[in-house]
Structure 1
Amino acid sequence: MPDLYEAEEYQRDLSESFQTKKNTVLSSHGRPPWYGENGLPLSNAFVIGIAGGSASGKTYVARQIVKSLGSTPTVVIMSQDSFYKRHTEEEMALAHANHFDFDHPDAIDMAMFADCLADLKACRQTNIPIYSFKEHQRLDQSKYLYGAAIIIAEGIMTLHDPKLRDLYDLKIFVQCDSDIMLARRILRDVKERGRSMEGVLEQYLRYVKPAFDNFVLPTARYADIIVPGSNNAVAIELITTHIRSQMNERARHFRRNISYRSVDKCLNSPSGNPEDSSLTLLLQTPQLQGIYTVLRDEKTSRQDFIFFVDRLATLLIEKAMELLPYKTKVVITPTDTECSGKELDVKHICGVSILRSGGPLEKGLQRVLSDVTIGSLLVQTDGKTGEPLLLHVMLPKCIRERHLAVDAWVFLLDAQISTAASAFMAIRTLLDHGVQQDHIIFVTFLVARTGGIHVLQSAFPKVRIICGAIDSGLRETWIEQYHSEGEGQYGNTRKAWIVEPGMGHIGDRYYL
């Protein structure tokens, strides 16, 4: 899967080589639900704008805010430096001679900055440009960002543009002495950007100081709070207290509202036409019943368990393939005869596995589509609240870029749907990237009859679900914590929901 994993590594290398590491995704304990039982987002990300002079300490203030917040949902620090416009050859020559004004508002692509920030605030994915300070040029590559509950945008012109100011929930201006800013700028540009001291001083006197006086300092009047560039611990504590309050107001209690109703009506469409139902159950043949008998038996050896899981996964994927669009194709057979057949009519197709219980379905997908790209999502339960948390996103390129995602078909893989909390979060994540709801096919071994499947179907009626069996029970219990952090309400335990009769912990039985 080179387009997924090698591309991610390449993006990381580019970011570290060509930028000052200002654009950062900081994850602590994951992103809680940002949507309601209807599947629609209920709250935007909380956006903070930090402005101030060059080398005033904006990035430092941003990182101190994150540090002071402690255990927080995912935070993105996004630098305005990424949005310098693409330069002509003449402009690049001037830049290398320190004769190009990077501190004027016209040097920054404000519209693109506002669009990317608006996408992140609305819980959508975005791809921000990568700018090389050594080459004085925007690169062809971009940096993928998604999943922030808190976004911090920092830059000298962060408060200059009215469209940007309208996106901020909190506006901050960092005030610092001019001599300190100059000293910091000399150290930074000589060490990190390969500039000479003479060039830094010339640029500062010609462009930086006049721009600060004319464009940057006047934006302080838009700030909600003025923060000193040093000795600012008190101000940062006030800011983080406000942020915590805002995040608490936006907290969702999601899982407990989506369980404990019957799935029977989900198998029957309102029109009476089985094709209108979004849930497809495999034909319960003696062969299929025999496979499930082997998989449910706790005495089944691991070798046999893996064999029959792979076999069942293949059957499920083959059934799911029937939901893809096909077109007519005419071929010539080895007997030199023309024959009319069918071929897939899709631009992009991929798999996304919900770690790690979705992993046992991957081999079945690869058996049916040998060259398919498979991404992953990690959704785990918060030990304190029982709510799902999005901890990890690694998606194929055809989903990471929205103009491709609109035409992509996705097989979403998970071992079972019990409360449906993980399924909800995974589907919402795909929709945030631009995947069409009717292009998502959820493939699973088991569905709990009294689980959250009814709410899932109500929220996402166009998502098709393929399952092999429907189990009658869903029992709430407490189990030992897998991680040492995030202890539950009863010591080292966390709340869990067990499908009965079920197949046990399918991922553990398959991998361990």
Structure 2
Amino acid sequence: MLPPLIRSVRKAHQAEVTTLKNQLLKSHGRPPWYGENGRPIGEAFVVGIAGGSASGKTHVARQIVQNLGSIPTVIILSQDSFYKKHTPEELELAFQNLYDFDHPDSVDVPLFAACLADLKAWQQSNIPIYSFTEHQRLDETKYLYGASIIITEGILALHDQKLRDLYDLKIFVQCDSDIMLARRIKRDVAERGRSVEGVLDQYLRFVKPSFDNFVSPSAKYADIIVPGSNNNVAIELISTHIRRELTNRAREFRCKITNAIKPNPSTPDPSHIAVEQLPNLHIIPQTPQLKGIYTTLRDKTSERQEFIFNVDRLATYLIEKALEFVPAGHETVTTPVGVEYNGRSIDTEICGVTILRSGGPLEKGMRRVLRDPAVGSLLIQSDVKSGEAILLHSMLPTSIRERCRAEVTWVFLLDAQIVTSASGIMAVRVLLDHGVQEDHIIFVTILAAPRGVHVLNRLFPKIKIVSGSADPNLTPIWIPGDGDDEAREVLCIEPGMGHIGDRYYL
């Protein structure tokens, strides 16, 4: 029996090993995955890789990712995480190496298919974590979201029809049985704390029969058979096919977006729409005090400390205004003089999501108004060549990452300005993908242009926008290119107040 400390360290190590099999591999960012109507276009590209135990499935998956080069985000999803939760009787058998982990009944296929279907549909998923030393599924999960390519691997990845229906490309890794056995012994002894005798007994009792009865027959469903070694040619063919598929999908998307943003002579210019015509835009009362704050913020000669002080004041007002749209319940309390008072209280879960980095100045106002709010962030930037918004990083609160909580959570989306709303559209789409209700999203901003608000209202009519002011004019300016990149046109809001994030942080 191992000492408790060693057992604890080994358990943590095995959980980490299992977790590492499910990875989110990031590249140059995630381009828009939605169309001109704000709804998702198509699905993620899913590759299923099956083969015998220790045949090299994970290695093939990583070779594909490496060979793809500069690509959007990739998820590698392992079947090993989806072993069923074991009963005490099953655990006793597992510790005696008498439980068949290679039989299809050992895998929670409905959960596996559900998680894969969510990821394929651009939604988030919380993947279970399995400990090989404890022979049990752990309580914690691994959050995954945002991939254009999903690669699943497992000995039974092609066995079940529910999984096969989700794959765009099916691969079977063929390897010599002696090599697979040698690899399995080396792996299980080093990584899973098994003895050589135990590995051999389990191989003869379960692994070999399962391969003959279930794994090997599933090769007939594969689109391509890949050797377990010396497979560079096959990997290149697979990578070329995936790149071609992604290129075709991206070209179709860019075409649709280009057509969508062309001016339509039959509709009025959104820049000329009055604020009163924007139903979900709520401007806080323009008091002399507020106008004084905006005068300071718009003055390019304002000192930085004075600018920061007034931004913090304004952020507090904006968050207080946003709270007016969050439902409040009735609550009766007793005052210090012993009298009952019928009041209101907010018992709804509220969190914030900042669009980095210009939305950062609004965080302090949220922390002033709400006690210990959970605040996450999204890093969204414009691609230098295409001008499209690119999602580079997401770090969302737990209340959003867990779908059952996301459906009842209210989210304050924080950004300093709404100009064309390109970043705002992507941020809202991320929240909707996680299950946040559209009418539970309140966009809080310091300055808004009618054009950007009009686009947000058209795509997402249920969200509310709270702003301190609205500026009517958008003026095109040219930003010089960097190196081989060409100069590009961007829209600047007027009279505006410059780049609020830079003025606040620099």
- Fold shared by both chains (TM-score > 0.5): yes
3-state SS in 2 of match to 1:66? helix
3-state SS in 2 of match to 1:19? helix
Distance 1:265 1:325 in 2: 30
User: Could you say which residue in structure 2 is the equivalent of 1:37?
Assistant: 36
1:504 corresponds to 2:498: yes
Give the superposed CA RMSD: 1.9
User: Could you say which residue in structure 1 is the equivalent of 2:70?
Assistant: 71
TM-score for both structures, normalised by structure 1: 0.91
TM-score for both structures, normalised by structure 2: 0.92
- What 5-or-longer segments of structure 2 have no aligned partner? 1-11, 264-268
Distance 1:92 1:278 in 2: 56
Q: Structure 1 residues 345 and 90 mapped into 2: Cα distance closer, same or farther (>3 Å)?
A: closer
Q: CA deviation at 1:78?
A: 0.3
Q: CA deviation at 1:267?
A: 3.4
Structure 2 residue corresponding to 1:309, chosen from 305, 308, 311: 311
2:55 touches 2:174 (CA, 8 Å); kept in 1? Answer: yes
Q: Structure 1 residues 184 and 310 mapped into 2: Cα distance closer, same or farther (>3 Å)?
A: same
3-state SS in 2 of match to 1:141? strand
- After the TM superposition, which residues 84-95 of structure 1 pair with which residues of structure 2 at under 5 Å, given as runs? 84-95=83-94
Q: CA deviation at 1:131?
A: 0.1
User: Could you say which residue in structure 1 is the equivalent of 2:464?
Assistant: 464
Percent identity over the alignment is 64
Distance 1:343 1:511 in 2: 35
Distance 2:475 2:401 in 1: 37
Q: Structure 1 residues 106 and 458 mapped into 2: Cα distance closer, same or farther (>3 Å)?
A: same
Q: What residue identity is the alignment partner of 2:326?
A: L
1:210 corresponds to 2:209: yes
| Larger deviation, residues 26-35 vs 333-342 | 333-342
Q: CA deviation at 1:441?
A: 0.2
User: CA offsets, 1:343-402, max 9 Å, x none?
Assistant: 1142x1111111111100000111110221111111111122111111111111111111
1:255 touches 1:386 (CA, 8 Å); kept in 2? Answer: no
1:267 touches 1:280 (CA, 8 Å); kept in 2? Answer: no
Distance 1:266 1:390 in 2: 31
User: Could you say which residue in structure 2 is the equivalent of 1:377?
Assistant: 378
3-state SS in 2 of match to 1:73? coil
Q: CA deviation at 1:494?
A: 6.3
User: Could you say which residue in structure 1 is the equivalent of 2:485?
Assistant: 489
2:47 touches 2:170 (CA, 8 Å); kept in 1? Answer: yes
1:416 touches 1:446 (CA, 8 Å); kept in 2? Answer: yes
3-state SS in 2 of match to 1:31? coil
User: Could you say which residue in structure 2 is the equivalent of 1:8?
Assistant: none
Q: CA deviation at 1:497?
A: 3.5
User: CA offsets, 1:107-161, max 9 Å, x none?
Assistant: 0000100000000001111111000011110001111111111100110000111
User: Could you say which residue in structure 2 is the equivalent of 1:445?
Assistant: 446
Distance 1:263 1:465 in 2: 17
Total equivalences in the alignment: 486
- After the TM superposition, which residues 258-277 of structure 1 pair with which residues of structure 2 at under 5 Å, given as runs? 258=261, 261-263=269-271, 265=273, 267-268=275-276, 277=279
2:77 touches 2:153 (CA, 8 Å); kept in 1? Answer: yes
Distance 2:464 2:119 in 1: 28
Q: Structure 1 residues 209 and 266 mapped into 2: Cα distance closer, same or farther (>3 Å)?
A: farther
User: CA offsets, 1:413-432, max 9 Å, x none?
Assistant: 00111111110011011111
User: Could you say which residue in structure 2 is the equivalent of 1:363?
Assistant: 364
3-state SS in 1 of match to 2:270? coil
1:221 corresponds to 2:220: yes
2:280 touches 2:461 (CA, 8 Å); kept in 1? Answer: yes
User: Could you say which residue in structure 2 is the equivalent of 1:422?
Assistant: 423
- After the TM superposition, which residues 386-425 of structure 1 pair with which residues of structure 2 at under 5 Å, given as runs? 386-425=387-426
Q: CA deviation at 1:287?
A: 1.9
User: Could you say which residue in structure 2 is the equivalent of 1:473?
Assistant: 473
3-state SS in 2 of match to 1:292? helix
Distance 2:427 2:14 in 1: 27
Distance 1:412 1:145 in 2: 21
Q: Structure 1 residues 94 and 467 mapped into 2: Cα distance closer, same or farther (>3 Å)?
A: same
1:120 corresponds to 2:119: yes
Q: CA deviation at 1:229?
A: 0.8
- What 5-or-longer segments of structure 1 have no aligned partner? 1-12
Distance 1:14 1:124 in 2: 29
1:17 corresponds to 2:25: no
Q: What residue identity is the alignment partner of 2:64?
A: I
